[in-house]
Structure 1
Amino acid sequence: MDTDTSRFITRVTEAVRTAPGVGFALLRPLLSLLVAGEPVTIAQLATAVGHSEDEIRTALADLPDTEYDAQGRIIGYGLTFNPTPHRYETRGRTFYTWCAMDTLVFPAILGESARVTSPCQATGEPVRLTATPDGPTDVEPATAVVSLVTPDHATSVRTSFCNQSHFFTSAKAAKNWLADHSDARVLPIAEAYDAGRPIMAELLAASPSRKCC
């Protein structure tokens, strides 16, 4: 990875880390509950992280992107039951993610692989891969890339980052999209996984018992 790309990834990492609505300490236990395939109650999440339900509600109030069902149960935060372009199949179930990078990062957080299918943002052609805790495999087409952005003023993690993280079948396919997004660049999928390693490490190290509430 060249120096310029390394600097770009450092900017991405810092921007994600400081974006409004990032809940590192809650994300891992919440993902572990969501991947079981049922909506997550506040009581379940409170038990998982060792805090009171009131403390969890207060913490979730700072995560405005969180998705709920009509009963007030959590159905999405990064990993979601609501359809998006990014199909994420694991444990014999179909989920979705908010962005392309989520599909690469979540297997390392959950410790299990997923089959990913997502359309190229430019052509609509499907990009397929197996996302494992140790990185992507079986990428089709092999030329596929992922877009990342470094916004100057992040609003929320989903709006500022996830909504701009797409798969493309190739860097050439992304050319027109990049022309309209001066704060973005694309990386081969294996490099995009490596770019996510600092975030993965922080998520794995985050302790909800100390930091979430």
Structure 2
Amino acid sequence: MSDLNTQLPERLSRPEETGLDPRLLVPLLRLLVDGDPVTIEQLASAAGRTPDQVRHGLAAVPDTEYDGQGRIVGQGLTLRPTPHRFTVAGQELYTWCALDTLVFPAILDRAARVESISPASGERIVVALDHAAGVTRVEPASAVVSLVNPERIASIRSSFCNQVHYFASADDAAEWLAEHPGAQAVPVAEAHRIGIELTRRLLDRLQVTASAADGCDCCC
């Protein structure tokens, strides 16, 4: 198995691999956390992009969720139920995968409470996170997170997120792991460390692109 601690944060932060552009993803998450669908125009304003640029950027992530009015309802963080409930300031949201729940509090600068269901046993896992202090509670303490390092991440939800779950313990994950060669289960604290490194890389990329835009002398 490749070194997930270094390879996953690098790969998942690269728009060339995932299609996720931090210039759109970060402002979109900060809009979605309020619990309402986001219009293209709202995201364009928050991201400092044109609506056409936003549409083009979102098209690179075919898993992006929309409602019947064409408003965005999910990209990592979603308004639609999944096994990963993500509650922030009393607002009940969901995420595409277990790793998302460990990444988003730092990006959103907010504390969160996570409730997830093991796909193997159906047991409930509860995790509390502070945006500064990190993981403050894990029940059961034996809980683990499954991670994969797929060959390609062109469709991030199907190729990565759908394989990244909470399990109540390593034993709980054992049968699932046997059916998913190459997957690995790590303690929640280790998954959080990977998530924090991914967060750092995403925010660094956002800062670099923002600085480049500020320094642009373009005439058009």
Q: TM-score by structure 2 length? A: 0.88
Deviates more, 1:16-25 or 1:53-62: 16-25
CA distance in 1: counterparts of 2:8 and 2:57, whole angstroms: 24
Structure 1 residue aligned with 2:217: none
**Amino acid corresponding to residue 6 of structure 2 in structure 1:** T
User: 1:54 aligns to what?
Assistant: 52
Equivalent residues in 2 for 1:47-196 (5 A)? 47-133=45-131, 134-196=133-195
Whether the 8 Å CA contact 1:25–1:203 is kept in 2: the answer is: no
8 A contact 1:12–1:148 mirrored in 2: no
Q: Could you give the per-residue CA deviations for residues 120-142 of structure 1, whole angstroms, max 9, x where no partner exists? A: 12100100011222321221000
SS at match of 1:127: strand
Corresponding residue SS for 1:175: helix
Deviation at 1:163, TM superposition (A): 0.5
Compute the RMSD of aligned alpha carbons: 1.7
**Matching residue's letter, 2:48:** G
8 Å CA contact retained: 1:21, 1:65: no
**Aligned residue for 1:198?**
197
Structure 1 residue matching 2:18: 3-state secondary structure:
coil
The structural deviation recorded for 1:202 is: 1.7
Answer yes or no: is the 8 Å Cα contact 2:13–2:201 preserved in 1.
no
- Provide the rounded CA distance (Å) in 1 between the counterparts of 2:27 and 2:115: 25
Could you say which residue in structure 2 is the equivalent of 1:42? 40
Deviations 1:132-153 (A, max 9, x none): 2232122100000001001123
Unpaired runs of 5+ residues, structure 1, are: none
1:8 Cα deviation after fit: 2.8
Contact persistence 2:10–2:201 (CA under 8 A): no
Trace 1:4-43 onto structure 2 (pairs within 5 A). 7-18=3-14, 19-43=17-41
Equivalent residue pairs, number: 207
Q: Structure 1: which amino acid aligns with 2:12?
A: V
Structure 2 spans left out of the alignment, 5+ residues: 214-220
Q: Is the 8 A contact 1:79 1:96 kept in 2?
A: yes
Q: Percent identity?
A: 50
Task: Note the alpha carbon deviations across 1:163-197, whole angstroms, 9 max, x for none.
Answer: 01000000111111111112210111011100122
Find the aligned partners of 2:114 and 2:55 in 1 and give their Cα distance: 32
| TM-score, normalization by structure 1 | 0.91
Query: Runs of 4 or more off by more than 4 Å in structure 1?
Result: 207-211
